[in-house]
Amino acid sequence: MSGSVVTVGTFDGVHLGHQAVLRRVRELGRERGLDPVAYTFPIPPRLAGARGEVDLLLPFEVKRTLLLREVDRVEAASFEDLRDLSAEGFVESVLVRRLDARGVVVGEGFRFGRGREGDLPLLRRLGLGGGLEVVAVPPVLAGGEPVSSTRIRSLLRAGDIEAATALLGRLPFLLGEVVAGDGIGRTLGFPTANLALDSSVLWPADGVYLAHAFWNSRASPGLLYLGTRPTLGGAARRCEVHLLDDPARDLVGVVLEVQILSRVRVDRRFSSVEALREQMGRDAGEARARLARMERRPERILG
């Protein structure tokens, strides 16, 4: 049988709520002999055309990789192409004609069409007329509140990594290519890999974090620093990783996946460079102590 089961959404973060929808898409596809498909937006419609920071939880290609663990195909949607489509037009031209959908799985708060005019009851009515099975998945709750990308962003902005992890169903992580730095970390005895991150991705709150870095077939725990280096007179925010197991390795040009486990301390200005150096030593000691208490180390998310 040809055709597909489709879910539509931004899926920023691919968090526990998204995962519940994606599992149902896969299950329904298996039951009906249909291809499970995710129709998603590289940029959330609410941010299309926005100026300045976008603050996504994941770059699109990373989101696509995670989605493909649950569905057979990911279709990228352009909000500009859909902006003026009515709810009826979206169902007919996108779901039925373009995606050959026989089933649609969405969250209970799903909205669609021009000006978000369509809702779940309308989708059900339109589906009945076109032989389109509509399945609604209730929200996943944590602490009595629905899991959402907005909620996760707020937690990361506050540096609450453990709470964000609980809602994501995995560790938060940053992905970036190592670029040449100014070597100050090395002169302080704590060489760092400087990461160039996707400018659309949200950074957690400034501070020092226990992290785990992966590259090629290697891995090392480390200290992740996010901030402006106020003691050194910095201005631009930087993302730097000090590898605890392999601090001297030159990784320029290598892409690091940095999983964030917990916050060690907030960023602050120290009275001198020597005071900063001493604190960095304490940070490394605290990181090793936390690592010793861990039952198992993280596994790579992107392979």
Tokens 């609410």 correspond to what residue?
46
pLDDT reported for residue 48: 58
Please tell me the predicted confidence (pLDDT) of residue 51: 55
pTM for this model (two decimals) = 0.94
pLDDT above 80: residue 247: no
Does residue 187 surpass a pLDDT of 60? yes
Residue 53 has a pLDDT of 66
C-alpha distances in Å from residue 206, one per residue of 170, 222, 264: 21, 16, 11
Tokens 């100014």 -> residue: 182
Residue (of 9, 8, 36) closest to 24 by Cα position: 36
Give the alpha-carbon dihedral of 159, 163, 165, 168, to 10 degrees. Answer: -110
Residue 249 has pLDDT above 90, yes or no: no
Domains of the chain in sequence order: 4-146 (3.40.50.620), 171-293 (2.40.30.30)
What is the distance between the terminal CA atoms of the chain, rounded to a whole angstrom? Answer: 32
For the cut 80, the answer to whether the pLDDT of residue 44 exceeds it is no
pLDDT at 150 over 70: yes
Q: Any alpha helices (H) in the chain, and if so which ranges?
A: 16-32, 60-67, 79-82, 87-89, 120-130, 149-157, 161-168, 184-187, 273-293
Model pLDDT for residues 72-110, shown as the tens digit of each residue: 999 999 888 888 999 999 999 999 999 999 999 999 999
Q: Is 80 exceeded by the pLDDT of residue 206? A: yes
φ and ψ of 114, to 5 deg: -55, 125
Give 46-64 pLDDT, tens digit per residue: 665 555 567 999 999 999 9
Backbone angles phi, psi at 74, to 5 degrees: -115, 125
Whether residue 38 is predicted with pLDDT greater than 90 in this model: the reply is yes
- Token output for 132: 């389109």
Backbone phi, psi, residue 260, to 5°: -105, 125
Cβ neighbours of residue 251 closer than 8 Å, sequence gap 6 or more: 178, 193, 215
The whole-number pLDDT of residue 78 equals 85
Give the chain's mean pLDDT: 94
The tokens for 143 are 């602490």
